[in-house]
Structure 1
Amino acid sequence: MNLIEFPEDWHSALVVVAHPDDVEYPGAAPIARWTAQGKEVVYLIASRGEAGLGGLPPEEAGKIRVEEQIAAAAVVGVSVVEFLDHPDGMIEYGLGLRRDIAAAIRRHRPELVVIGSHRELSGNGMLNMSDHRAVGQAAIDAVRDAANGWVFRDLAEEPWSGVRHLALLGSPDNTHAVDIGEWFESGVKSLLAHSVYLDHLGTKPNEVEAMLRKFSTDVAAQFSGRPGVAFEML
């Protein structure tokens, strides 16, 4: 199936994911494209990634991963990165998580919401993490919650029903793609900003570029030969 051109008739976006680095595998290049167009993009990260560096206490690991995420966002023109402090590795779907995400949607009033996929399988065919599934499903539900004035009535923010596009990043069922030819290197630099985390994984800089290059060329096979990042539009 050929991938459809991702809509760009919007000005503001909120990106909702579970952990630091989730955006950059491999969603940073499209964001570099969008911010270069003058669009406003905000990141909402459900946890601080504090369980992601084995051997380091969560307090130390969380601080490092937050700093790396903020640096990674800055590479692609994103200056607002918010963290919800749900526990890394133990995020639970529920009203608390939905409320937190709905509050952010009402606060930032996006037209596009990009969400880490909640599907059982990730885009590479492997089992998706429980944190990803919980945050993804909660974010989908929070879009509707944010628009309903009778839901989460204690929130100070006014309801927001202006979300026009909802897209999943890292889905196995992609429908659309963004041409990232001009912004590929920005995407690589953004992921490389997670230097401590990548070192912990044993991933070298040349491996990062090769991995992201493969992702983009795989998309190109379904996108008129153009290197891209794919999304599932809901």
Structure 2
Amino acid sequence: MGPPPVPPFPDGAFSRVLCVVAHPDDVEYGTSSAVAAWTAQGIDVAYLLLTRGEAGMDALRPEETARLRTAEQLAAGEAVGVRDIRFLDHPDGVLEYGLGLRRDITRVIRELRPDALLVGSWAVEFVAGLNQADHRVAGLAAVDALRDAGNRWVFRELLDEGLEPWTVRWLLVGGDDRPTHGVDVTGEALERGIASLEAHGQYLAGIPGHPPPRPMITGITALQGRAMGVGHGVLFRAFDFAAPPPIALEAMRAAAESVG
């Protein structure tokens, strides 16, 4: 007997999602199909890009690449119903974890006040193989900024900007091999997710051997859909900070058993 299907998120779990990633195109490798499903339900989704991906195209100068990839990211967001797309100007390829990066992400969390923060894996090795350095930094900095955003006494200068603390309920991690929840993207959401990766056409054309977006995204979401028992899905490891920590539940069960 196999493992139980990965469940969907509860109805109404969140109404506003902020996706924090390192580069243009990072959201588009499957995750944007989930974004399309959410925006179709009326969920507000925003993107925060920590760089403009200026080091990503060997054939172009960084300034040209930044302009091109910024434009492609805006088009990719439009394909899945995301119009609030913000770019920071941290350096691509050498993104550094530090207080400045945490502060910048915290600022946007307090401005937008999301219910859920979506990040990529910060592990060295993840479901797609070895993780890229900027991806690891972006994921870890965003996770720490989530807690920073709710602490009045961390980055007190943000209070002077009128940004009060904000507590994010959900952390959603893509690319984790221990998924807890999934999003059914079968149908229109999948099509829009494919279109969002296709919007990065000039960038993808410069990557030797990169597979076409349609079979690539269709295959990724089909594999993940199997875990949910649906045609196509996107999986996340989710942390609900309004729920008791799993270890607390286990401890309470153990205590009840010992008394019984």
Scaled by the length of structure 2, what TM-score is found? 0.85
- Conserved in 2, the CA contact under 8 Å of 1:179 and 1:227? yes
SS in 2 for 1:201: coil
Pairs within 5 Å for 1:143-222: 143-155=146-158, 156-182=161-187, 183-202=189-208, 207-222=212-227
- Runs of 4+ aligned residues of structure 1 deviating over 4 Å after TM superposition are none
Distance 1:118 1:13 in 2: 19
Tell me the number of residue pairs that the alignment of Structure 1 and Structure 2 aligns: 232
CA RMSD of aligned residues (A): 1.4
Residue 203 of structure 1, CA deviation: 5.6
CA contact (8 A) 1:107 1:157 kept: no
Question: Aligned residue for 1:5?
Answer: 8
Provide the C-alpha distance between the structure 2 equivalents of 1:25 and 1:122, rounded to a whole number of angstroms. 14
SS, match of residue 166 in structure 1: strand
| 1:105 paired to 2:109 | yes
Provide the rounded CA distance (Å) in 2 between the counterparts of 1:116 and 1:165: 14
Matched, 1:117 2:136: no
Contact 1:18 1:116 in 2 (8 A): no
Work out whether 1:39 is the aligned partner of 2:43.
Answer: yes
Residue deviations 1:115-139, cap 9 Å, x none?
1211221322x11011011110010
Q: What whole-Å deviation, never above 9, does each CA across 1:155-175 have from its counterpart, x for those lacking one?
A: 114233331110011223322
Structure 2 vs 1, CA of residues 225 and 78 (structure 1 numbering), >3 Å: closer, same or farther?
Answer: closer
**Where in structure 2 are there 5+ consecutive unaligned residues?**
240-260
Task: Out of 167-176 and 57-66, give the one that drifted further.
Answer: 167-176
Structure number with greater Rg is 2
1:129 aligns with 2:129: no
Provide the C-alpha distance between the structure 1 equivalents of 2:116 and 2:94, rounded to a whole number of angstroms: 27
Identical pairs, percent: 44
CA distance in 2: counterparts of 1:67 and 1:137, whole angstroms: 27
* Closer, same or farther: CA 203–78 of 1 in aligned 2, 3 Å: farther
TM-score under structure 1 length normalisation: 0.95
* Counterpart check, 1:27 vs 2:31: yes
Task: Assess if the C-alpha contact under 8 Å between 1:106 and 1:157 holds in 2.
Answer: no
Partner of 1:174: helix, strand, or coil? coil
- Cα distance, 1:54–1:140 mapped onto 2, change above 3 Å: same
Alignment match of 1:58 (pick from 52, 59, 62): 62
